[in-house]
């Protein structure tokens, strides 16, 4: 597993892309997590010109991404004002090849609430859950990191996005409540806690990280399902088509026969056309013979067999027939 977060320079980012690509070659099971990278509370951490690199190179390499609302907007180019927009942004990130997309926070829930969405794309099927909870009054630093770390840990342990999502949210809220209570105590009544006083109470929350309470239940986003069912059909069709196109362009093959993901046999347009013409010739010849037999009283016989070799179509056999005179 490999987690990356803030990278502020182009050359660093390009190197990361290179390393991830190499690592995935050696270990296709490697899970690469792209966590938030860009901004928080509309504050942009990284130079704007890095956005295209994040969007077009880094994100497509990721298995899991956990952008907040603002980052999801930047990565997808979709402005998120309601759940439909959020789903479109999620779909856009799935289309880039990301298997798990989690929007870690958004303001599209009810007034005063935060809404998070977690979506998976497996074999073209989308499963999207949401959890809504009250937004606490305070600015926390490191919540995106903690969110991504917990999510990744639980995905690894339970392999269920719903379970991982619920446990992550439970830990987050326990940590944040503990942090806020402590910060307010330090600041004193009526005072606003300083950023230092708001430091996440991680060590004190050890048991909430290891054993999250069963406080949050993720809801399956039904609206999403019907919408994604359409997307799914479109996407899988697109995938099939692009797969076919790729095969054409890469090998010039019309038909691929694969075993265990490996092409074991294939044939080109020319080969398929030849096969059709031969079948047609044999059918026409045989129909002609039957006709001549009927009309002339002669007997048509097959005198020898000719083996038609077809390199990659395997070997097919056809009878060449000719007419003989029989008294």
Ligand X SMILES: Nc1ncnc2c1ncn2[C@@H]1O[C@H](COP(=O)(O)OP(=O)(O)O)[C@@H](O)[C@H]1O
Q: Does 142 bind ligand PXP (CB under 6 A)?
A: yes
CB of 169 to ligand X, least distance (A): 6
Q: Does 229 bind ligand X (CB under 6 A)?
A: no
Interface stretch with ligand PXP, choices 59-67, 139-147, 194-202, 316-324 (CB under 6 A): 139-147
Among 45, 138, 254, 256, binds ligand PXP (CB under 6 A): 45
Q: Does 36 bind ligand X (CB under 6 A)?
A: yes
| Residue 205 interacts with, from ligand X, ligand PXP, none (CB under 5-8 Å by kind) | none
Interface stretch with ligand PXP, choices 135-143, 202-210, 234-242, 267-275 (CB under 6 A): 135-143
Quick one: DSSP state of residue 304? E
Q: Does 36 bind ligand PXP (CB under 6 A)?
A: yes
Closer residue to ligand PXP (CB): 24 or 40: 40
Place of tokens 């690592």: 23
Q: Does 136 bind ligand X (CB under 6 A)?
A: yes
Q: Does 199 bind ligand PXP (CB under 6 A)?
A: no
CA distance 88 to 70: 14
Interface stretch with ligand PXP, choices 138-146, 211-219, 249-257, 306-314 (CB under 6 A): 138-146
46 backbone dihedrals φ, ψ, rounded to 5°:
-105, 155
CA 202 to chain CA centroid, Å, is 32
CA 260 to chain CA centroid, Å, is 21
Q: Does 6 bind ligand PXP (CB under 6 A)?
A: yes
The yes-or-no answer on residue 145 being catalytic is yes
| Residue 220 interacts with, from ligand X, ligand PXP, none (CB under 5-8 Å by kind) | none
Q: How many residues does the chain have?
A: 327
3-state helix, strand, coil in the chain (%, to 5): 50, 20, 30
Q: Does 147 bind ligand X (CB under 6 A)?
A: yes
Quote the radius of gyration of the chain (alpha carbons, Å).
31
> Do residues 79 and 89 lie in contact, with contact meaning Cβ atoms separated by under 8 Å?
no
Measured between its terminal Cα atoms, the distance across the chain in Å is 83
Of residues 84, 145, 163, 256, which has the active-site annotation? 145
Q: Does 171 bind ligand X (CB under 6 A)?
A: no
| Residue 5 interacts with, from ligand X, ligand PXP, none (CB under 5-8 Å by kind) | ligand PXP
CB of 127 to ligand PXP, least distance (A): 26
> Do residues 78 and 55 lie in contact, with contact meaning Cβ atoms separated by under 8 Å?
no
Binding mask 96-125 for ligand X (x = CB under 6 A): --------xx--------x-x---------
H-only helix segments in the chain: 10-26, 51-53, 59-61, 69-76, 83-95, 143-158, 161-187, 206-210, 222-251, 269-296
Cα–Cα distances in angstroms (integers) from residue 247 to residues 25, 132, 253, 259, 268, in the given order: 21, 44, 6, 15, 11
Q: Does 145 bind ligand PXP (CB under 6 A)?
A: yes
Interacting residues of 68 by C-beta distance below 8 A, sequence separation 6+: 36, 39, 40, 103, 104, 105, 106, 144
Burial of 41: CB neighbours in 10 Å, binned 0-12, 13-18, 19+: exposed
Interface stretch with ligand PXP, choices 48-56, 136-144, 160-168, 269-277 (CB under 6 A): 136-144
- Using CB under 6 A, list all residues that contact ligand X: 36, 40, 68, 104-105, 114, 116, 135-136, 138, 140, 143-144, 147, 169, 172-173, 176
Give the interface with ligand PXP as residue ranges (CB under 6 A). Answer: 5-6, 36, 40, 45, 141-145
């Amino acid at each position: 597993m490999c987690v990356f977060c803030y990278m502020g320079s182009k050359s660093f980012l390009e190197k990361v892309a290179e390393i991830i690509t190499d690592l995935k070659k050696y270990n296709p099971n490697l899970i690469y997590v792209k966590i938030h990278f860009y901004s928080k509370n509309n504050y942009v951490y990284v130079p704007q010109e890095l956005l295209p690199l994040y969007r077009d190179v880094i994100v497509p390499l990721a298995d899991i991404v956990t952008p907040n609302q603002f980052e999801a907007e930047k990565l997808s180019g979709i402005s998120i004002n309601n759940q439909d927009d959020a789903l479109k942004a999620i779909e856009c990130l799935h289309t880039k090849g990301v298997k798990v997309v989690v929007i870690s926070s958004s303001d599209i829930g009810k007034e005063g609430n935060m809404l998070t969405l977690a979506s998976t794309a497996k074999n073209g099927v989308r499963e999207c859950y949401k959890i809504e909870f009250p937004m606490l009054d305070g600015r926390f630093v490191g919540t995106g990191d903690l969110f991504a770390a917990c999510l990744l840990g639980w995905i690894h342990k339970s392999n269920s996005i719903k379970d991982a999502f619920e446990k992550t949210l439970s830990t987050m809220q326990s940590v944040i409540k503990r942090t806020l209570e402590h910060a307010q105590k330090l600041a004193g009544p009526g005072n606003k806690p300083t950023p230092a006083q708001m430091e996440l109470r991680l060590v004190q929350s050890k048991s909430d990280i290891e054993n999250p309470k069963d406080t949050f239940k993720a809801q399956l986003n039904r609206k999403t399902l019907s919408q994604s069912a359409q997307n799914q059909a479109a996407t899988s069709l697109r995938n099939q088509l692009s797969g076919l196109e790729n095969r054409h362009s890469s090998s010039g093959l019309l038909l691929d026969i694969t075993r265990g993901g490996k092409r074991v046999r294939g044939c080109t347009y020319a080969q398929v056309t030849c096969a059709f013409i031969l079948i047609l010739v044999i059918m026409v010849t045989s129909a002609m013979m039957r006709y001549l037999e009927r009309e002339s009283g002669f007997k048509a016989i097959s005198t020898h067999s000719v083996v038609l070799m077809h390199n990659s179509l395997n070997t097919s056999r056809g009878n060449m027939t000719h007419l003989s005179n029989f008294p």
